[in-house]
Amino acid sequence: MRAWNLRLWLVICGIGLLATSCGSSSKGSSAAAGEEVFQQRCSACHTIGNGKLVGPDLAGVTTRHDVEWLNSWITDPAAFAKTDPAAGDLFTGAMPSLGLSPREVDSVIAYLDSNRDVAVGAPTDGPRELSAAEFDQASGIYFNRCAGCHGTLRAGATGPNIQPDTTREIGTAGIETILTNGLPGGMPAWGKSGILSADEIELMANFVQMDPPTPPPLDLAQIKDSWSLMVPVADRPTEPQTSRDWQNYFGVILRDAGQVAIIDGDSKEPVAILDTGFAVHILRSSATGRYFIAVGRDGRVTMIDLWTKTPQIVAQVQGCFDARSVEGSKYQGYEDKYIVEGCYWPPQYVVFDGQTLEPLVMRGILSPDVNGKELEEVRVASIVASHFDPTWVMGLKESGYVGIVDYSQPDFPLVEKIPADLYLHDGGWDHTGRYFLIAANARNKLEVIDVKTKQLVGEVETGDTPHPGRGANWEDPEYGWVFATTHLGEGKLTLVGADPVGHPEYAWKVVREVQIPGTGSLFLKTHPGSPWVWMDTPMSNVIEESHQVCVYSKEKMVLEKCFPIADHGRVVHFEYNRAGDEVWVSVWDKKGEIVIFDDATLTEKARITGDWLVTPTGKFNVYNTAHDVY
């Protein structure tokens, strides 16, 4: 037995429980256990003998590194890279700490060693030909599941570039592995979670190695053709026809049912379930709160009147083929006057009448990026409505500009383009409504825009892929006002100083970082009267973590606790009721639930269930959404 093998043997046999297999079998129980761990935790990025995936082929790795080295590397690659030069050379930031126990690490090494004689594999197998029907099917799946992160033309944004040059390097088998198991930085495990079948994964693995189809334009005439006004303004009530507190209604997205449920926040009863269309993404309230405006991934905008006895759809229109954001005009004198829709495709925004959704203007946003690089795709990401002047502020994702649209001017022009950083995604106001903080999430930063001076005033590195949603604002006992975000790529809540008047020394700097168990956080939420900040981790590939919520104490300045609230689905997104004493959380599943907590005691108060509650995701309280309470 060579020296290295002997050491490996000693390490593995030193673990009592595994000792029975030592010396008896070439692939004993520790290697068998290691195989299981490898399949679950490593095989998304590595093969043994089947070529490079995201990470290198690990065939023969135990002949290249000794057991102590591998142990340190697998346990915490980032920490090890700081102390070991070879590890430092190898570490690109992609290899995460997997949180394996020492026994699991040993078993993985034993498994790798049991494959020490396997030869490193050839990297790729090319794509097979797809029939026209298969190509169409794959285009549909790509649009539904992939385009949001990787872009319609696949140039990358929140997710990496996956154009054929890159995907062919990985090859069909490698892509299938990634699609099945996901990746630690937020790439969902489409196969393991049962969302894509094995056949669909095979189809997509081939499709993404081919050139993307060219998506068509959508002009104003076509947008006008899509407009339908179900209830003219003259036929609508002039005052609320319900005795319910409609300002405490919650609009709940039933994503895969293509519906929005309007739930009475007091009685918790569904008062209406409305067919809004394909994969609704978000709702926003008009400035008065009377109308909910829904936007679907297919670009359809739906206006819901909450003043009728039962809420009803009064108008619909399609301004884009692919969209994620919509907002109303909120400046004094312009309440409920206009609606803007931001498109993912085509690269444009569209302004509608705020009472009827009649299309008024469509304006293109394609431009070179902040570095002067020509682009073929620029998507409108987050949009907020200023309370200081008649403007909308929007993140122009690929170009890295924050655009300002002046809706007091006849043609709703983009009057400013403030250079920030690439891949702008989601964001919200600071507590004064003067500063807009938006994540350049692939750059691990929050960009801070002063909408009064129309300048970029801060750039803050917060962590791996910040995802603030609308963000959360509160007064920290030490640092004054802060704006916070969680992250998709690491388990961390980051507090950024947001008090340039009271605490200028901390403004737009990281002032606190709080570890939370689990990556894959999408949303956090608080309320001015609450002592807590609620956080989710729905995109964690560790099932238990996707079921939990975590709560941070503003006063104690520590993570109070994390606890599971379901044994199925993904627990996602928070919303407070109008009074700010209840928090609503979705269990995003075919058999969905909404769990309601008493915010003072953190105890469960009610659980809404029912066959109608299919895949609930975002929830929007009328009062809080109209007034930007977060």
Residues found near ligand DHE in the complex (CB under 6 A)? 148-149, 158, 255, 281-282, 324-325, 381-383, 425-426, 469-470, 522, 572-573, 617-618
Q: Which is nearer to ligand DHE, 43 or 462 (CB)?
A: 462
Give Cβ neighbours of residue 243 (< 8 Å, ≥ 6 apart).
Answer: none
Is 149 annotated as catalytic?
yes
Q: Which is nearer to ligand DHE, 21 or 621 (CB)?
A: 621
Q: How far apart are CA 496 and CA 212, in angstroms?
A: 39
DSSP string, 239-261: S---SS-GGGEEEEEEGGGTEEE
Kindly calculate the radius of gyration of the chain based on its CA atoms and give it in whole angstroms. 26
Q: Are 314 and 305 in contact (CB under 8 A)?
A: yes
Q: Of 274, 268, 231, 229, which Cα lies nearest the Cα of 248?
A: 268
Q: How far apart are CA 154 and CA 167, in angstroms?
A: 11
* Residue 262 CA, distance from chain mean position: 24
Smallest distance, ligand DHE to C-beta of residue 153, A: 14
339-498-428 Cα angle (round to 5)? 20
Q: How far apart are CA 544 and CA 566, in angstroms?
A: 9
Q: Are 613 and 262 in contact (CB under 8 A)?
A: no
* Annotated catalytic residue within 45, 146, 320, 343: 146
Residue 562 phi/psi, 5-degree rounding, is -125, 140
* Annotated catalytic residue within 42, 45, 65, 150: 150
* Annotated catalytic residue within 42, 95, 149, 343: 149
Three-state secondary structure call for residue 119: coil
Q: Which is nearer to ligand DHE, 107 or 158 (CB)?
A: 158
* Annotated catalytic residue within 281, 467, 527, 573: 467
Is 425 annotated as catalytic?
yes
Q: Which is nearer to ligand DHE, 45 or 522 (CB)?
A: 522
Q: How far apart are CA 60 and CA 113, in angstroms?
A: 7
Smallest distance, ligand DHE to C-beta of residue 59, A: 35
Q: Of 155, 152, 174, which Cα lies nearest the Cα of 163?
A: 155
Smallest distance, ligand DHE to C-beta of residue 15, A: 41
Q: Which is nearer to ligand DHE, 281 or 290 (CB)?
A: 281
Question: Starting from the edge strand earliest in sequence, which strands make up the sheet with 492-497, in order?
Answer: 466-476, 480-487, 492-497, 510-515
Residue 359 phi/psi, 5-degree rounding, is -65, 130
Is 146 annotated as catalytic?
yes
Q: Which is nearer to ligand DHE, 479 or 630 (CB)?
A: 630
Smallest distance, ligand DHE to C-beta of residue 143, A: 9
Q: How far apart are CA 578 and CA 131, in angstroms?
A: 53
Q: How far apart are CA 448 and CA 443, in angstroms?
A: 14
Q: How far apart are CA 399 and CA 419, in angstroms?
A: 9
Q: Which is nearer to ligand DHE, 195 or 231 (CB)?
A: 195
* Annotated catalytic residue within 42, 45, 95, 187: 187
Q: Which is nearer to ligand DHE, 112 or 542 (CB)?
A: 542
Smallest distance, ligand DHE to C-beta of residue 57, A: 30
Is 467 annotated as catalytic?
yes
Smallest distance, ligand DHE to C-beta of residue 618, A: 3
Token pair of 241, please? 């026809």
Question: Starting from the edge strand earliest in sequence, which strands make up the sheet with 322-328, in order?
Answer: 322-328, 338-345, 348-353, 359-364
Smallest distance, ligand DHE to C-beta of residue 56, A: 29
Smallest distance, ligand DHE to C-beta of residue 416, A: 18
Is 568 annotated as catalytic?
no
Smallest distance, ligand DHE to C-beta of residue 498, A: 18
Q: Which is nearer to ligand DHE, 8 or 141 (CB)?
A: 141
Q: Which is nearer to ligand DHE, 48 or 380 (CB)?
A: 380
Long-range contacts of 72-81 (CB under 8 A, 24+ apart): 74/98, 74/100, 74/105, 74/108, 74/109, 75/100, 75/102, 75/105
Question: Starting from the edge strand earliest in sequence, which strands make up the sheet with 593-598, in order?
Answer: 570-576, 582-588, 593-598, 603-608
Smallest distance, ligand DHE to C-beta of residue 427, A: 7
* Annotated catalytic residue within 65, 425, 527, 573: 425
Residue nearest to ligand DHE (CB): 148
Q: Are 539 and 520 in contact (CB under 8 A)?
A: yes
Active site positions, annotated: 146, 149-150, 187, 425, 467
